[in-house]
């Protein structure tokens, strides 16, 4: 063997680079695969515990590199494990959240179906049994009670529904409404609102120029008693009253629902549908077949519609029905108005001005921005404003009588109203005054921009007249498309002019609406008037636009007829508003009720930017009661034949239990239709009683005192 080889095998010569690399690799693999107890002992291959000189020299370096690699690998493994754990935790959390939601939904659905099963399985008398167990024996419904007294059907009954309570169905529409022929678009399930909202709005809107049908669309009122017995499933309107009348012998042959398209102006219901002629013919038929005059029961806006009818039926054709001046005297025994807004509604001002009222303002405060969101191109309030401004009927509800009825900047007939529940702190007929000596409840300012403006005396308010302002300089772009409205045409200059005027009374509100919605008010001024007549002999007042204003028309010549004002009291009712300017971009409505304006303990009538007064939550006492309390009381120029008038108020009492539903003593504007006392009054009159038989007036509010403060020539 060569010496060099022997020397190499003996390990006497230094290793070559190749051998060194091999040794390092072999050492690394060997140590890596060595059991832990051998590594701790420093053991090697076989039973040898000795290393060569080269290995001893390289060992610290190799061990250091190995430890670094091991530490790096452990860190990588540790980080990887931490990430995996976090991902697993997130996935478990998501699964846990989904599982919880599914369990919750399943629990709610199961509970609902179980309760529904129990409800359908229980005897029909069970709710009454529970109610009696809680409250004691319940009184008989009015129909049962009066049937036991021997009352029977006598006078035919005519129901005149109000705004929004009558059903509307589709007779012709665009392709987006295919398959819905004669299906209800209004009154019912409202399923089409959710399925096709923009198409529904298109079909519920009227032509903005004519106030009649848009091209290719025909939506018509539902006929019969089903037109307004229920507004939606389970939400009664006329159903309870109809059921109680049936208890004493009434049926469809002597009850008639005078359904009409409540979106149209009153005269246009005759132009398009001949609704006034149909009412006249049906009343004549019932009088001819029964031999008795009818009892007419209008609700809400139906009271104004029937005022229009009584003038229309007397007037000669073509404008009127040609019945003659004695038609009402021959055919009508009594008109029993329920919640009639004879002098209009402050609530409608907020609706036309900013597409909101107290309920919408509260919703905005609870969920800021939600109603203004552009969800799938559907701006809720903007579309609502565009649609409702085509409904000419809404303009019949604008307050009438001007400042003489509703008040000036510093005076209003109800200024001393105490909003504390049940008048616990009764005022001794004195007006509430602030420290500077002026009244703090300035109800006459129906719109104020800012709480301070609502409370200051008029002499301290600097106002700039908006009527001469130059419109233009659009504050939004033109991407708004279908929701473009008059505010976008006014521009920033016109909008700022409205804000700078600061405070509006009823008279200036009319000018305001002319300014912000000229097309709407152009149509409205052709069909309605809102003033007080100076001389009713003037031929001007023979035009139909004055017929629904009790301050610009006369009651018919029917001295035997009786008129009742029946309405709820004891509920806060919107009277005036505090607004703020909302300079939003894009397509938003620039004015909003300032829900942050609160009156605190000293001004309990101010809540959420709305000043409240006594009423039925919709119609203030002043509007519902003034005409029967004073305007028509006795022989006045508005009531030349001396028709007897009665004020019948129903003090609100909420339901005692959930089983009582909406209550049998409710004074709410719609729920009052189920008020037992009101139903009993109606049945007694329909059976032949007079107002005196009912006991005359029944009053809980300050309507007579407030009426005396109104100085209108009678």
| Cis bond before residue 318 (omega within 30° of 0) | yes
Listed in order, strand segments (DSSP E) in 5-139 are none
Residue 601 C-alpha from the chain's centroid: 27
Listed in order, strand segments (DSSP E) in 495-617 are 503-504, 562-569, 571-581, 591-593, 606-607, 610-615
Strand partners of residue 335: 296, 563
Per the listing, tokens 């409710």 go with 666
Per DSSP, the residues of 269-330 read HHHHH-HHHHHHHHHHHHHHHHSS-EEEEEBTTHHHHHHHHHHHHHSPTTTS----TTHHHH
Question: Coil, strand, or helix at residue 50?
Answer: coil
Q: Which residues contact 631 (CB under 8 A, 6 or more apart)?
A: 550, 551, 638, 639, 712, 714
CA distance 590 to 482: 17
Cα four-point dihedral sign 443, 445, 449, 450: negative
> How big is the CA angle at 115 (ends 112 and 118), to the nearest 5 degrees?
150
Please state, as a whole number, how many other Cβ atoms lie within 10 Å of the Cβ of residue 158.
23
CA distance 111 to 207: 47
CA distance 670 to 666: 9
Q: Which of 229, 416, 616, 671 is catalytic?
A: 616
Residue 324: left if φ>0, alpha if ψ -120 to 50, beta else—which one? left
Residue 668 C-alpha from the chain's centroid: 15
Q: Which helix (H) or strand (E) holds 449?
A: strand 447-449
Asked whether 335 and 563 are in contact (CB, 8 A), the reply is yes
CA distance 238 to 299: 10
Name which of 349, 329, 301 is nearest 641 in CA terms.
Answer: 329
Q: Which helix (H) or strand (E) holds 651?
A: strand 644-651
Strand partners of residue 334: 295, 562
Name which of 647, 630, 606 is nearest 714 in CA terms.
Answer: 630
Per DSSP, the residues of 23-43 read HHHHHHHHHHHS-HHHHHHT-
Q: Which residues contact 199 (CB under 8 A, 6 or more apart)?
A: 174, 176, 177, 192
Q: Which of 205, 265, 275, 300 is catalytic?
A: 300
Q: Which residues contact 3 (CB under 8 A, 6 or more apart)?
A: none
**Six-digit token string for 253:** 């042959």
Per the listing, tokens 């009678």 go with 714
Q: What is the dihedral of CA 385, 391, 396, 397, to 10 degrees?
A: -40
Question: Coil, strand, or helix at residue 657?
Answer: coil
Q: Which of 594, 669, 671, 707 is catalytic?
A: 669
Task: State the maximum Cα–Cα separation within the chain, in Å, rounded to a whole number.
Answer: 152
CA distance 571 to 618: 9
Q: Is 155 a catalytic residue?
A: no
Q: Is 300 a catalytic residue?
A: yes
CA distance 222 to 259: 7
Catalytic annotation, residues: 300, 616, 669
């Amino acid at each position: 063997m060569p010496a060099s080889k022997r020397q190499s095998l003996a390990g006497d010569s230094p290793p070559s680079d190749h051998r060194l690399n091999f040794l390092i690799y072999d050492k690394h693999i060997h140590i890596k695969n060595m059991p832990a107890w051998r590594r701790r002992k420093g053991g090697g291959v076989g039973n040898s515990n000795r290393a060569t000189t080269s290995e001893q020299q390289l060992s610290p370096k190799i061990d250091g590199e190995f430890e670094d690699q091991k530490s790096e690998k452990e860190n990588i493994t540790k980080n990887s494990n931490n990430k995996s754990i976090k991902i697993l935790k997130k996935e478990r959390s998501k699964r846990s959240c989904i599982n919880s939601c599914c369990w919750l939904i399943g629990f709610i659905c199961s509970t609902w179906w179980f309760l529904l099963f129990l409800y359908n399985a229980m005897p029909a008398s069970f709710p009454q049994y529970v109610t009696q167990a809680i409250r004691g024996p319940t009184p008989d419904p009015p129909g049962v009670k009066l049937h036991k007294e021997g009352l029977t059907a006598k006078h035919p009954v005519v129901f005149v529904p109000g705004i929004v309570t009558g059903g509307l169905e589709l007779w012709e529409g665009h392709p987006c409404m295919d398959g819905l022929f004669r299906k209800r678009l209004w009154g019912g399930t409202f399923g089409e609102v959710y399925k096709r909202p923009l198409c529904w709005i298109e079909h519920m809107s009227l032509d903005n120029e004519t106030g009649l049908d848009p091209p290719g669309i025909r939506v018509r009122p539902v006929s019969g008693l089903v037109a307004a017995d229920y507004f939606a499933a389970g939400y009664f309107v006329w159903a309870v009253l109809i059921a109680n009348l049936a208890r004493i012998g009434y049926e469809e042959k002597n009850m008639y629902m005078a359904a009409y398209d409540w979106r149209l102006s009153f005269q246009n219901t005759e132009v398009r549908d001949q609704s006034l002629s149909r009412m006249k013919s049906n009343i004549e038929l019932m009088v001819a077949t029964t031999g008795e005059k009818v009892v007419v029961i209008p609700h809400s806006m139906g009271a104004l519609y029937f005022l229009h009818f009584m003038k229309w039926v007397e007037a000669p054709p073509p404008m009127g029905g040609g019945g003659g001046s004695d038609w009402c005297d021959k055919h009508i025994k009594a008109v029993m108005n329920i919640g009639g807004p004879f002098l209009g509604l402050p609530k409608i001002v907020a609706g036309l001005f900013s597409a909101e009222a107290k309920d919408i303002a509260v919703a905005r405060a609870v969920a800021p921005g939600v109603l203004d969101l552009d969800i799938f191109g559907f701006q809720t309030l903007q579309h609502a404003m565009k649609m409702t401004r085509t409904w000419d009927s809404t303009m019949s509800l604008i307050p009438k009588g001007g400042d003489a009825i509703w008040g000036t900047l510093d005076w209003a007939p109800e200024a001393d109203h105490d909003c504390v529940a049940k008048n616990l702190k009764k005022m001794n007929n004195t007006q509430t005054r602030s420290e500077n000596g002026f009244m703090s409840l300035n109800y006459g300012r129906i719109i104020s921009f800012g709480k301070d403006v609502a409370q200051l005396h008029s002499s301290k308010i600097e106002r700039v007249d908006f009527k001469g302002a130059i419109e233009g300089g659009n504050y939004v772009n033109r991407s708004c498309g279908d929701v473009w409205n008059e505010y976008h045409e006014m521009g920033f200059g016109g909008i700022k002019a409205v804000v700078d005027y600061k405070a509006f009374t009823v008279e200036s509100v009319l000018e305001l609406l002319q300014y912000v919605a000229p097309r709407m008010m152009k149509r409205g001024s052709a069909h309605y008037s809102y003033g007080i007549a100076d001389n009713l002999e003037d031929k001007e007042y023979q035009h139909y636009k004055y017929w629904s204003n009790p301050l610009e028309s006369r009651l018919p010549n029917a001295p035997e007829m009786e008129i009742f004002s029946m309405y709820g009291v004891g509920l806060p009712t919107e009277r005036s508003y505090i607004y703020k300017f909302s300079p939003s971009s894009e397509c938003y409505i620039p004015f909003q009720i300032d829900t942050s304006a609160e009156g605190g303990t000293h001004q309990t009538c101010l809540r959420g930017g709305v000043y409240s007064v006594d009423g039925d939550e919709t119609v203030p006492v002043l509007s519902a009661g003034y005409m029967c309390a004073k305007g028509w009381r006795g022989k006045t120029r508005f009531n030349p034949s001396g028709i007897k008038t009665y004020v019948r108020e129903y003090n609100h009492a909420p339901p005692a239990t959930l089983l009582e539903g909406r209550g049998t003593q409710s004074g709410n504007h719609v729920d009052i239709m189920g008020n037992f006392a009101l139903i009993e009054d109606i049945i007694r009159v329909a059976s032949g009683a007079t107002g005196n038989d009912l006991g005359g007036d029944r009053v809980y509010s300050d309507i007579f005192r407030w009426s005396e403060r109104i100085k209108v020539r009678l």
